[in-house]
Chains A and B, each alone.
Chain A
Amino acid sequence: MIRRWALPAVLLIVIVGALGFSARDIGRPPTAEERAQSIASRVKCPVCNGLSVQQSEAGLARTIYAEILRQVQSGRSDAQVTQYIVDTYGREQLTRPDASGIGSIVWIAPVVLVVLSLAGLAAAFRRWRPSGSRTPSDADRALVQRALRREGGS
């Protein structure tokens, strides 16, 4: 029994180990450009349709990106730069809703939905729990054998 499960267990450990190895730090803090790109990817380009400032080549998007980069380079934190965008262009310019306030609903509601449906399923399985004997009788086995023979013969 244990020997048979050894391989899957080893494989699982190797997978988890490799995943952990791949998640290691890159060994240096992110550059200003990387931080600015990441902030800009969450800011809607005001003159485009459905693109972020980071994706857009529009003049205004490049100007906004330059300002984000300048602020990051001048030592402001990501939160401060994001707040700057909220102060100038408004909250609706950020495409990632906050985890607090009314925006948090979009983060919480799906989790609640999944938990509720899993709970519902669990309750259903409890209700469905087989009652009485489910071990096959000899008649069942005979039926199966006959069916198998028919299968094999055809």
Chain B
Amino acid sequence: MKRWGAPRIAAVSVGLIMVLLIGVLATRRNAMERQRSSPLVGRVAPEVAGPDLLNGGRARLSDGAGKWILVNFFASWCVPCAKEHPELVKFAAAHQASGEVSIFAVVFEDQPKGVKAFFAKRGGGWPVVDEPRAAVDYGVTGVPESFLIAPNGVVVGKLTGGVRLASLETTLARFKAAYAAANASTTVAP
């Protein structure tokens, strides 16, 4: 007296697997919208060093150690970069007095001539380094992309797409508070 033959058992198990698969597929977001977190966050920022196109000589990211640094990957041919640029100029100006935040730009697939014209037209005077491998070190996939680096040299956040002054300030304030809290706890702990 067999009530459940092999076909029925197979049908039920295939059905169950299919229910799971459909469940998974139904709950997936669109591949384009999927936010990817950078594996760099939480780790020490890779060094960037290369010729400074704007100010001449060589510039190194580690020169700004001990301060908050916004590493900004950009290109003169990129429209969102041009849109973002005035916001960065304002951001730099707002923090110039305190000197605790600086911007460090890295050129992405661009010619020096275009970069110089870009800055001549749109202002800004921070270091602009031309070093192609930096984009790979930071896992850059497109421009603009920015990384916020804490005074201890650790990457705390990645900002994809053009930044706006207001949101940049709130992000910075949030990370600053978290950083202060973390440092306080580590200094108290021992």
Interface residues of A (CB under 8 A from B): 46-47, 59-60, 63-64, 66-67, 70, 86-92
Contacts and interface: CB of A to CB of B under 8 A. Distances in A.
A87 B45 CA distance: 11
Contacts of B138: 88
B141 A47 contact: yes
24 contacts: A46-B141, A47-B141, A60-B135, A60-B141, A63-B109, A63-B133, A63-B136, A64-B136, A66-B133, A67-B133, A70-B133, A87-B39, A87-B43, A88-B39, A88-B46, A88-B137, A88-B138, A88-B139, A89-B139, A89-B141, A90-B37, A90-B38, A90-B39, A92-B36
A101 B36 CA distance: 21
Contacts of A67: 133, 136-137
Interface string B78-106: 00000000000000000000000000000
Contacts of A86: 39
Contacts of A63: 109, 132-133, 135-136
**Majority DSSP secondary structure for residues of B touching A:** loop
Among A60, A88, A90, max chain B CB count under 10 A is at A88
A89 B136 CA distance: 8
Interface in B135-151: 135-142
B154 interface: no
B40 interface: yes
Interface of B: 36-40, 43, 46, 109, 132-133, 135-142
A88 B138 CA distance: 6
A27 B136 CA distance: 34
Contacts, number: 42
Nearest to B109: A59
A90 B132 contact: no
Given A47-B141, A88-B139, A89-B141, 4 more contacts: A59-B109, A88-B40, A89-B39, A90-B36
A90 B133 contact: no
A90 B46 CA distance: 15
A63 B46 CA distance: 17
A46 B38 CA distance: 13
Contacts of B137: 67, 88
Of all A-B residue pairs in the complex, the 6 with the closest CB atoms, nearest first, are A88-B139, A46-B141, A89-B139, A67-B136, A59-B109, A90-B39
Contacts of A66: 132-133
B78 to A, nearest CB: 12
A66 B137 CA distance: 12
Contacts of A92: 36
Contacts of B136: 63-64, 67, 88
Contacts of A88: 39-40, 46, 136-139
Nearest to B110: A59
Contacts of B39: 86-91
Among B38, B40, B136, max chain A CB count under 10 A is at B136
A63 B110 CA distance: 12
